[in-house]
Structure 1
Amino acid sequence: KHVRCWPISMLGCQPAGQSACQGDGQFGRTEVIDNSLNPDFLRKFVLDYFFEEKQNLPLGDTHAPPGHRVCVCVSWLIAPPGSGIPGKKCGTIILIAEELGNCRDVATLQFCANKLDKKDFFGKSDPFMVFYRSNEDGTFTICHKTEVVRNTLNPVWQAFAIPVRALCNGDYDRAIKVEVYDWDRDGSHDFIGEFTTSYRELARGQSQFNVYEVVNPRKKMKKKKYLNSGTVRMGGTWAGDTGGTQINFTVAIDFTASNGNPSQSTSLHYLSPYQLNAYAMALKAVGEIIQDYDSDKMFPALGFGAKIPPDGRVSHEFPLNGDAANPACSGIEGVLEAYHRSLRSVQLYGPTNFAPVVNHVARSAAAVLDGSQYFVLLIITDGVISDMAQTKEAIVNVSPGGAMVELDGDDIRISSRGKVAERDIVQFVPFRDYMDGGGSPVLSMARLAKDVLAEIPDQFISYMKARGIKPQPA
């Protein structure tokens, strides 16, 4: 999340409709604002992201390395000949960026006004409204303009649909500023007044809480008897979910003895006071990405292949937090804490059975078949599966509803007892492939997470298509 300002030096004007950086990674253009030296552009640009990667917003200062700097070009619709002055600063472009929240709601809003100020000499006013969302640094960014209603002091604007995150980025209490103007053909629109609200207030709909005085601060300072420049009230509001699917992320960790004694540095479970072990590194790398798709950030975490207290029985489906009724941990950090506590309380044993944790998640998924939730299981393990036949059967059974690679159906769809898996829902990634090459551990873990999660979007889409589940219209 950054706010950066760059002075723009016009080294020469381009022909109309062209820009200096055309064809060089251009990803969008703003709308044209007539007759203004201080334009406030409405059009926003959402930078592409990849589900399986951790990406930093590519905004940097003028010393950023190549490929990490945003190039802003100013184009004139009519290029004045000879108007470019080399080395002269001809204004400032202000870039404001913010990570989009997970809110998928869409609001439909409608407003009308009463007794607005008369601004036109030969008529009344041609009012329109401009909505601004507040930013994290206290500034405001334009997010919507209504149409102009001609020659009236009592306009009724058309209802409009807008994503809630465009209004407030999902923060219902974030301030929303609304300005009311009288439209002028030459672009010098006359300011009538303003008011502030929030989405929480707007969501109350047509009520006494959504009648706002339109106030012009300058007129209020100059005139003691000034009350307002009219009122604006809500005509209605509706909010709805656009059909976003909640991802439920479950972690299962191998506690078999083949991992080695956690007190020894050769163990994959080594409890070092200075750095994360291999299990924690893999969990953190994948979890930090997928957690952004889980709104409540509560992750069931299971262990398998260990003798657990108090009776020392072998379990292949025990909760890392010790609560069998609710194995969910708060955030990825909560999972890591529960994992470290389990290492100190259980005895690593065996064998390496996957089927119990696969069936555990399958039972949860079977209870939600409407497409509102999608379940992902991350298994972190060191060895060959002991219950391959049972695991195959569990995966084949869940896909409609001696080697690990055998489960990854990229080339040949897995089968069990004559039944073939409907979808390829397994992705196998060997951790060692990302640690043997040296280099930065951070980059290695980023590549690991990317490859672990790479197939989830296609798996998700194939499930929804097979079930005939379509996203709801916005």
Structure 2
Amino acid sequence: MKVTISVKAAHLKNVAGNFKGTSDPFAVITILPLDPSSLPQVLGKTEVIKNSLNPDWTKSFTINYTLGKPTNVLIKIYDEVHKGDNKSMGSCVFELGTVLGSKGSIQSKAIPNSRGIIYCKIEEEKDYGNLKLKLAGAKLKNLDGLFNKSDPFYEIKKRDYGKGANWNVVYRSSYIKNDLNPNWDTMNLSLNSICDGNLDQLIKLTVYDHEGSGKHELMGEIETSVNGLVAAKSHGNGFALKKNGDTTGTILVSVADIINTQDAVEEEIPVAAMSNVKLGPSAPQISDAITKSGPTFVDYIKGGCEINLSVAIDFTGSNGDPRDPSTLHYIHRDGTFNDYEKAIQKVGKILEKYDSDKKYPVFGFGAKYDGVVRHCFQCGPSEEVNGVDGIINAYRQTFASGLIMSGPTVFTEVIQTAAARAASAQEAAKAQGKQTYSVLLILTDGAVSDVQETARCIDQIDENPLSIVIVGIGNADFSSMQFLDDNSGDIDIAQFVKFNDCKYSESALTEATLDEIPNQLVKYFLRHGINPNPPVVVEEEEIAVAPAEEEIAVNIDFGADGIPVYGGSSSC
């Protein structure tokens, strides 16, 4: 999926130096490689915001993101220096899955040494088309005294980081010097960025008088929508610019066209032809010119849908004596993970980002207790454990529970148990106006004893909000297990991955095991007529600021054209 990264900062430390005013910050966005032998990828830099220690940049960056592939983004802030090297103002690293799973898909971190806070927001990139927009002002109220005229520019804002007064800037025009009748340039603006594809969503248009100090003066503002802009152009209406209840000028709309292709829809209306424009605080609405695509995984996550994880572990005798260092269940005394633990840790660390309470049931199968083979039993002392470390502890504690590793390898009971839990969790969530989806991770060292029966079992429970991921541990012949992936019914909810094919890659296992889950989640909810909940709205003050971490030593070079490139390692 394609996602966009947007950035803002607050309470930055001024590094401009004595008697040089306030810093002019911009941010450079860099993707850090998982492989130490690979180089970072510089996505680019934001615009510079003059004289500000609380910059809200409008430029965003689009990348491909895969659930299961850890993606670390370095956001490094600089003070622009025209003569000399740009000065570092600090940096933070964000993992995109963690940002996406955070409330409102926003995360903030403290810059080391009390140098401020960086906010990172993730949104899914959707092609709703563009708004071709050209605005002009007429008879704006001058704020620069008798002998000068204001230098107006405008910003478009939407409620993004919060609600109420927390408007986030999504576009900022250039300013026009000494002009109370400004005619700004025509722009093509992404409907995804300015209104999330909702043409009736409220947006704010604010006009400022540009000041070199960065303390721009408010000239007035209006609230409307994309439909309101289009209708204003269509009906020849203008907007009365307001400040403290007083009219401070007029905003004219000479172009406002919804563009689904490269071609413009209508001709531009010359500003001179709009001298008798009608004023109105709002304009008649027109029908949406865009048909939204269907809901996506990100839509459900942004609406608060949580992903619950259950783990089922194979304790059959074919794993070997766990006291033997050559066997699969051997617990290493030096803290090294065996392959079962590696699989738990890698998959669990991805999915826990989408579960607020991080409580997981851990099951075992294939062992005898009191002479009876049990195909689904609790691992550890409690029904649910805390976090991924809790899963690993429950797994280790099972070897001291008096079990005898036995057989055969049967999945059906743990599948049925997980399906029942998944259905119950979703019903409980639904009663509270929430949503939840579950993933069962089965770890096994061999092929299931009855593949056909297991396939029938999966077919019987495939209407539940559940995905099943089976990871084969060790060197057994797992060829028959692919049958479960390929032939488990009309609805595909099961996936098999061989651990040894992925064990030497940092992200190959999680990519292979989790890549189908977003699609499976969306298909489940759509089959049952369940749309995503509205995006969770979070006030800026509600965003917990993660503590400062050690900064990553990545040096960025700036060419004569100001374009940032990776310049090797250095101290930050």
- Specify whether residues 351 and 151 from structure 1 end up closer, same or farther in structure 2 by C-alpha distance, changes over 3 A only: farther
Structure 1 pair 393–151 and aligned structure 2 pair: CA distance change class (3 A): farther
Partners of 1:183 and 1:161 in 2: how far apart?
Answer: 19
Is the 1:243–1:473 contact (alpha carbons within 8 Å) kept by the matching residues of 2?
yes
Determine the structure 2 residue equivalent to 1:104: 103
Offset of residue 90 of structure 1: 4.8
1:382-405 per-position Cα deviation (integer Å, ceiling 9, x unaligned): 111113233212211222237111
Q: Judging changes above 3 Å, is the alpha-carbon distance between structure 1 residues 134 and 428 closer, same or farther for their aligned structure 2 residues?
A: closer
Q: Which runs of 4+ in 1 moved over 6 A?
A: 70-75
Equivalent residue for 2:445? 382
**Which residue type is aligned with residue 366 of structure 1?**
A
Distance 1:459 1:262, change over 3 A: same
Whole-Å Cα distance in 2 between the matches of residues 190 and 284 of structure 1?
49
Q: Does 1:320 align with 2:379?
A: yes
Identical counterparts, % of pairs? 32
- Superposition TM-score, scaled by structure 2 size: 0.48
Shift, 1:422, TM fit: 3.4
Task: Choose the corresponding residue for 2:330, options 238, 251, 270.
Answer: 270
Q: CA deviation at 1:450?
A: 1.9
Aligned length: 317
Mapping 1:298-447, distance limit 5 Å = 298-308=359-369, 311-323=370-382, 327-345=383-401, 346-367=403-424, 368=426, 370=430, 372-401=435-464, 403-409=480-486, 413-414=487-488, 421-435=489-503, 441=504, 444-447=505-508
Q: Is the 8 A contact 2:111 2:118 kept in 1?
A: no
- Map 1:162-241 to 2 at 5 A: 162-163=160-161, 184-188=209-213
Cα deviation digits, residues 235-287 of structure 1 (max 9, x gap): xxxxxx95121000000000000110101122111122122222111111211
Query: Of Structure 1 and Structure 2, which has the larger fraction of its residues in strand?
Result: 2
Aligned partner of 2:55 in structure 1 is 41
Deviation at 1:53, TM superposition (A): 1.4
Does the residue aligned with 2:494 lie in a helix, a strand or coil? coil
- Residues 28-177 of structure 1 correspond to what in structure 2 (within 5 A)? 30-31=46-47, 33=49, 36=50, 40-43=54-57, 45=60, 48=63, 49-58=65-74, 89-94=84-89, 96-97=91-92, 99=94, 100=99, 102-105=101-104, 135=110, 137=112, 138-141=114-117, 161-163=159-161
Contact 1:287-1:332 within 8 A present in 2 as well: yes
Give me the whole-angstrom Cα distance separating, in 2, the residues matched to 1:459 and 1:298: 22
Task: Return 5+ residue gaps in structure 2 as ranges.
Answer: 1-8, 16-27, 31-39, 120-140, 144-155, 167-206, 218-300, 465-478, 536-572
The answer to whether the 8 Å contact 1:253/1:380 transfers is yes
Find the aligned partners of 1:89 and 1:245 in 2 and give their Cα distance.
49
Cα root mean square deviation, aligned: 4.4
Contact 1:104 1:164 in 2 (8 A): no
Structure 1 residues 450, 288: CA separation in 2 closer, same or farther (over 3 Å shift)?
A: same
Q: Where does structure 1 lack aligned partners over 5 or more consecutive residues?
A: 8-18, 60-69, 76-83, 108-132, 144-149, 153-157, 168-181, 193-240, 415-420, 436-440
Whole-Å separation in 2 of the counterparts to 1:321 and 1:408? 30
C-alpha deviation, 1:47, in angstroms = 7.2
CA distance in structure 1 between the aligned counterparts of 2:46 and 2:118, rounded to whole angstroms: 13
Inter-partner Cα distance in structure 2 for 1:189 and 1:432: 57
> What displacement does 1:372 show?
0.5
- Greater relative contact order (CA < 8 Å, ≥ 6 in sequence): 2
Distance 2:330 2:52 in 1: 59
Residue 293 (structure 1) aligns with: 354
Q: TM-score with structure 1 length normalisation?
A: 0.57
Q: Deviations over 1:208-237 (max 9, x none)?
A: xxxxxxxxxxxxxxxxxxxxxxxxxxxxxx
Moved more, 42-51 or 384-393: 42-51
Q: Distance in 1 between matches of 2:118 and 2:443?
A: 46
Match of 2:274 in 1: none
Rounded to whole Å, the distance in 1 between the matches of 2:74 and 2:110 is 19
SS in 1 for 2:409: coil
The residue that corresponds to 1:127 in the other structure is none
